[in-house]
Structure 1
Amino acid sequence: MLIRNAEIAGLGRTHLRIEAGRIAAIGDGLRPGEHEAVLEAGGGALLPGLHDHHIHLLALAAALDSVPCGPPQVHDAGQLARTLTLKAAETQATSGDDWLRGTGYHESVAGDIDRHWLDRVVPDRPLRIQHRSGRLWILNSRALERLGAEDDGDAPLERIAGQASGRLYDADAWLRQRLGSRPPSLARVGRLLASHGVTGVTDTSQHNGPQELAHFAAEQARGHLLQAVLAMGDARLDGALPSGDVRPGHFKVHLHENELPPFDALCEDIRRRHAAGRNVAFHCVTLTELVFACAALEAAGVDTGTFAGDRIEHASVAPPETLPQLAALGLVVVTQPNFIRERGDVYLREVEAADLPWLYRARGLLDAGIPLAAGTDAPYGDPNPWLALEAAVTRKSASGRILGAAEALSPEQALALFTSPARQPGGPVRRLAVGAPADLCLLDRPWADARERLGAVHVRATWRTGKMIWQ
């Protein structure tokens, strides 16, 4: 294919040829060959395909078939009740007594809801709602009955005065086993991400193992999953080999401040993973978790080899005193600027004022010499990376209030968060050059226009290894 009159950084308007999955030529003198497809770019910016460095593919696939139960779609208890009642009625004729699934719930909507609250809204269908943190499921009585869980003393349910509250914490594996569910199709996920110019992702799910990697590869082979995948996971991925365009990645440690693992055991786990050739990534959304992770990596030793470094996911709260250690350890931070837009108004109400300047930092990390990349954390965040890019520049919440103005990036720095290589997040951005893989996205406008309002950008076409996966 010949892409004509595309704006390429440093070159202005020019032409680009794709052959055999790579960029074969760039220049004004290129002419269409015999039987060569031609796409007229009209001066739109042609960029490297975006890489979402923190996403959860299977959860996103499930969320696309679920009922939104929290902001920005749902804001109060009455709206949530109406949404669930309507969805239950809409699907009753086709779904019978099948499950109803909700996602994205937050306490700002209706407080700490439980089975009894859900029973009043949906009494006749098994219903489960996932908290936006991904750690909590809330089930109604019909769901508990369907799972055979209420009278099962071994079920990991929260119990109050001996009765199941309907709340289920950190037990996704148990729930999947009880449901007997099969992994979902990733066709909708692949198309959605391609429509945003995403050609690669890093799946950061903690419990990925050989079965999940095999599913990703099978979905790629079916033409459903259109992106390259680097997959984090647990110890079962030690020594795992690539399959299709799916590669095993970091060992994921999901820290919970109220239940931190034994320090010495964690350090030994880090050493084992490094010995197996894997880096380690820590989920850190509180200051305590960040300090604990850094202490463990300092004691066990960091590894900057296989994937260009151990990682901190989120670094949601990173005050100035934490930055020297992050830099000294050579850690990579993968942040989510979209949460400033999506959750900023809640943060302004609920987060201590002293912590507000240090939420989801960007410029401060770069100024400290800390490699920085970004992901959307979809489905726990919006999967559109262009909204995340705009939030990184404006630092505005949904209502327009600014959080951490000093952390704002230029549009070019924001774009770099999603254009560093999968194996080197925060490293040198990928460039369009002859011989490079043809992972590309074409915008509907020149960069000078796009940079003024990144959230309004539309992607005209996306290519991965030379194949057009979106137009």
Structure 2
Amino acid sequence: MLDMLLRDVRVHTVDDARPTASAIGVLGGRVVGLDEEVVDLPARTVVEGQGAVVVPGFGDAHNHMAWFGQSLGEIDLSATTSLAGVEEAVARDAARLPADAWVVGSGYDDTVMGAHPDRSLLDRAGGGRPVWLKHRSGHMSAVSSEVLRRCGVLDGRAEEPEGGVVVRDGSGEPTGLLQERAQALVDDLVKPYPVEEVATALGRASEVYAAEGLTHVVEAGIGLGLLGRTPVEAAAYQVARDRGLLRTRVELMVAGDTLHRLRAHPADGIDVGLDLGLRTGFGDDRLRLGPMKIWLDGSLIGRTAALSEPFCDHGTAVFQDDPDVMRRLVVDAHRAGWRVAAHAIGDDAVELALDAFAEAARVHPRADVRHRVEHAGLVRPDQLARFGELGVVPVPQPRFLYAIGDTMAAAVGPRRVDWLYRHRSFLDAGLRVPGSSDRPVAPGAPLLGMQSMVERLSSGGVLLGADERVSAAQALRAYTLDEAWASHDEQTRGSLARGKLADLVLLDDDPLRVDADRIGAIGVLATLLAGAPVHDTGLFAGRDLPAPTTTPEGAQA
């Protein structure tokens, strides 16, 4: 007997052998058949889909779940368009806090406001409190004088970290802007966050994700590094899972800063890694270790990406460390069995990543590794073929084109604008392109990302790289099967076929049929993880269905 028969639906399976269906049978959390294979079988529950569109559960190959979850409890500056607006928001939050409390905000964008808030503004608005405002890119922060004092910047005690910049004005005084690894000066004051706090933030984020149809996400950097919340961050994910807070499958990238020298037998080739030899793949289909993440450069929005030619307006390219040191880390991690995810936005950083992957494959051949270049923000024409030759997965963020496309175009100029966040060129080179967001840097709803893949319009209405546009069907594949493929999961999820996980999304319209500018407005009616609703607007209310098994078997919640 089936656990569930879902019928009267319009299914896009993303399975070339059977692209469409009108009924799905689910048993034991998996799809057991479509249409005539299941419609006459007895089922514990029959759900009438009322013509809803069904697609495989969406995946996000690059997001920051803990960062996003914590930002939901901070001042939201993402819609602030002026420095006066920042000052007002900080002052309003400071007024409700004790005199010694931190004022923390997220998501401001200097390219929208015309400048970064400086420390005098933050001193005034915060009433002398420590104020910490995080740039939407995650690559910069603006802080008050009290934070600089506690960091040791004002009295000269602090040393500027390698790969970071404490920005100063013409007279040599710090402005309050910290770029790239200089943000570690603040991290040392506030981190590590308690595991309980991080777990709660993960639950908040997961609820949003389920409502957007996400059933799998890759967390792009836990532990240490630019965005890690605590050296024991994996424990927070386990706590969230044990308590039933995780409504999505999660794969964890481990920040390269977390890896260290190991004393293993010389024959093992494990010189660098995590204690006990843990590496990519450890865990299960709900929570497991993914790639090792290494940041090679900065960002285009912050003008700190490593480019082979200068920015057109301002800024300085920043490698996060000595290129030889970063290259050796990639090779060592590869030898130890890790899949590697290299953050590389500028074409110089992309070149470094490709060179490192080539060396790794030469000194220690491994089959079908699927190393990744996270962002691949500016890729020259001559670099496209190397991705294919090396089997490297590009992981661009399509919604960047809308959210920050105008400032990225200004940074690189008209000659290079067609190289930004490519898609079609990667497909033409025989590559797969997984959908991703980099949330909270840009909005993370997969349907918005699909719309940007098809349109490639900036928020100012500028078409960026017309030849890089793809069809709605290719965009859907990016957020489903190709996202699964990037994680070596294409045999178990990413399409709706017999034997695959019953992770699926019910939509109120068809993304393959509506006008491109309406894709992002399609509503998510329900999200099912292993056949159980983790988000529902009413279709599954009162149905006799298995409860979501978001806790591991035998766990004590």
The TM-score with structure 2 as length reference comes to 0.76
The TM-score with structure 1 as length reference comes to 0.89
Query: What is the match of residue 381 of structure 1?
Result: 442
Deviations 1:305-340 (A, max 9, x none): 587411111111112121122222221101101001
Contact 1:204–1:231 under 8 Å retained in 2: yes
Contact 2:418–2:465 under 8 Å retained in 1: yes
Contact 1:126–1:142 under 8 Å retained in 2: yes
The alpha-carbon deviation at position 262 of structure 1 amounts to 3.8
Change in CA separation of 1:33 and 1:152 when aligned onto 2, cut-off 3 Å: farther
Query: What is the match of residue 220 of structure 1?
Result: 241
Contact 2:295–2:320 under 8 Å retained in 1: no
Change in CA separation of 1:31 and 1:221 when aligned onto 2, cut-off 3 Å: farther
Query: What is the match of residue 266 of structure 1?
Result: 326
Letter in 1 for 2:87: A
* Mapped partners of 1:158, 1:267: distance in 2: 26
Structure 2 gaps of 5+ residues are: 13-17, 261-272, 298-305, 307-317, 537-557
Query: What is the match of residue 133 of structure 1?
Result: 137
* Mapped partners of 2:167, 2:19: distance in 1: 64
Q: Name the SS for the 2:81 alignment partner.
A: coil
Query: What is the match of residue 182 of structure 1?
Result: 194
Please tell me whether residue 120 in structure 1 is matched to residue 114 in structure 2: no
Contact 2:90–2:126 under 8 Å retained in 1: yes
- Stretch moving more, 386-395 or 429-438: 429-438
Query: What is the match of residue 25 of structure 2?
Result: 17
* Mapped partners of 1:266, 1:172: distance in 2: 19
* Mapped partners of 1:138, 1:248: distance in 2: 32
Change in CA separation of 1:306 and 1:419 when aligned onto 2, cut-off 3 Å: farther
The alpha-carbon deviation at position 52 of structure 1 amounts to 0.2
Letter in 2 for 1:469: V
- Stretch moving more, 51-60 or 291-300: 291-300
Letter in 2 for 1:48: P
Contact 2:472–2:512 under 8 Å retained in 1: no
- Stretch moving more, 432-441 or 169-178: 169-178
Letter in 1 for 2:210: A
Deviations 1:421-445 (A, max 9, x none): 6562298682212221111111112
Change in CA separation of 1:6 and 1:308 when aligned onto 2, cut-off 3 Å: farther
Change in CA separation of 1:140 and 1:174 when aligned onto 2, cut-off 3 Å: closer
Taking every aligned residue pair, what percent have the same amino acid on both sides? Answer: 28
The alpha-carbon deviation at position 342 of structure 1 amounts to 0.6
Deviations 1:220-268 (A, max 9, x none): 1211121111111132664323268221121211012323544444343
- Stretch moving more, 155-164 or 189-198: 155-164
Q: Name the SS for the 1:74 alignment partner.
A: coil
Q: Name the SS for the 2:294 alignment partner.
A: strand
**Aligned counterparts, 1:17-36, within 5 A:** 17-27=25-35, 30=39, 33=42, 36=44
**Aligned counterparts, 1:369-408, within 5 A:** 369-408=430-469
**Aligned counterparts, 1:4-403, within 5 A:** 4-9=7-12, 10=18, 12=20, 14-27=22-35, 30=39, 33=42, 36-70=44-78, 73-89=79-95, 92=96, 97-108=100-111, 109-144=113-148, 150-151=154-155, 153-154=157-158, 156=160, 158=166, 160=168, 164-169=174-179, 170-171=181-182, 175-180=186-191, 181-183=193-195, 184=198, 185=200, 186-205=202-221, 207=224, 211-233=232-254, 234=256, 235=259, 238=274, 239-240=277-278, 241-242=282-283, 245-256=286-297, 257=306, 258-259=318-319, 261-301=321-361, 308-403=369-464
Change in CA separation of 1:401 and 1:165 when aligned onto 2, cut-off 3 Å: closer
The alpha-carbon deviation at position 85 of structure 1 amounts to 3.0
Change in CA separation of 1:142 and 1:243 when aligned onto 2, cut-off 3 Å: farther
Q: Name the SS for the 2:25 alignment partner.
A: strand
* Mapped partners of 1:373, 1:381: distance in 2: 16
The alpha-carbon deviation at position 367 of structure 1 amounts to 0.6
Change in CA separation of 1:244 and 1:163 when aligned onto 2, cut-off 3 Å: farther
Letter in 1 for 2:535: W
Letter in 2 for 1:242: G
The alpha-carbon deviation at position 448 of structure 1 amounts to 4.5
Letter in 2 for 1:314: H
* Mapped partners of 2:336, 2:393: distance in 1: 20
Structure 1 gaps of 5+ residues are: none
Letter in 1 for 2:467: A
Q: Name the SS for the 1:217 alignment partner.
A: helix
Query: What is the match of residue 445 of structure 1?
Result: 509
The alpha-carbon deviation at position 138 of structure 1 amounts to 1.5
Aligned length: 465
Query: What is the match of residue 551 of structure 2?
Result: none
Contact 1:356–1:403 under 8 Å retained in 2: yes
RMSD: 2.9
* Mapped partners of 1:53, 1:373: distance in 2: 6
* Mapped partners of 1:446, 1:159: distance in 2: 49
Query: What is the match of residue 301 of structure 2?
Result: none
Q: Name the SS for the 1:388 alignment partner.
A: helix
Change in CA separation of 1:176 and 1:265 when aligned onto 2, cut-off 3 Å: closer
- Stretch moving more, 429-438 or 249-258: 429-438
Contact 1:68–1:103 under 8 Å retained in 2: yes
Contact 2:402–2:459 under 8 Å retained in 1: yes
Change in CA separation of 1:41 and 1:425 when aligned onto 2, cut-off 3 Å: same
* Mapped partners of 1:467, 1:254: distance in 2: 37
Deviations 1:403-454 (A, max 9, x none): 1111101001111111136562298682212221111111112455456421
Among 443, 447, 455, the residue aligned to 2:520: 455
Letter in 1 for 2:105: G
Deviations 1:362-384 (A, max 9, x none): 10111111221121000111121
Q: Name the SS for the 1:204 alignment partner.
A: strand
